[in-house]
Amino acid sequence: MTRLQAFLIALSVAFAVVAGTYAAMQTTQLGAAATPHVNATAIAREQRALNHTALALHKALRRRPPKLPPLRRAAPPRTVYVQVAPPARTTLHPVTHTHSSPHHGDDGGADD
């Protein structure tokens, strides 16, 4: 690696560090500027809604669910018999193979 190549690599790394630092500082400034502004009436309205929901949940916990209907007895399982036909008989016949070519093992290649 020549001195010029090393200098160019160091210069590009330094540029990346400076650009990253600048981007990070801009991001933190944006986060600091974004302070939430909520008025007290909105907070009170949300608090009332939460209290209303909590009260409804407590009432639902005190109520008991209705009784379930009694279970019916299941019928005993039925046995079903199926008649299966016996397998068909197959007969194996010997296969005779004859070659018409004078030499065996013809693989389609050229003759030597």
| pLDDT of res. 107 | 59
CA dist 24 and 20 (Å) reads 6
CA dihedral 52, 53, 56, 57 (to 10 degrees): -140
Per-residue pLDDT of the chain (112 residues; tens, 9 = 90+): 899 999 999 999 999 999 999 999 988 887 776 667 778 898 999 999 999 999 999 998 888 877 888 888 888 888 888 888 887 787 777 777 676 666 655 555 555 4
| pLDDT of res. 110 | 58
pTM for the model:
0.30
CA dist 28 and 33 (Å) reads 9
Token reading at 8: 């160019």
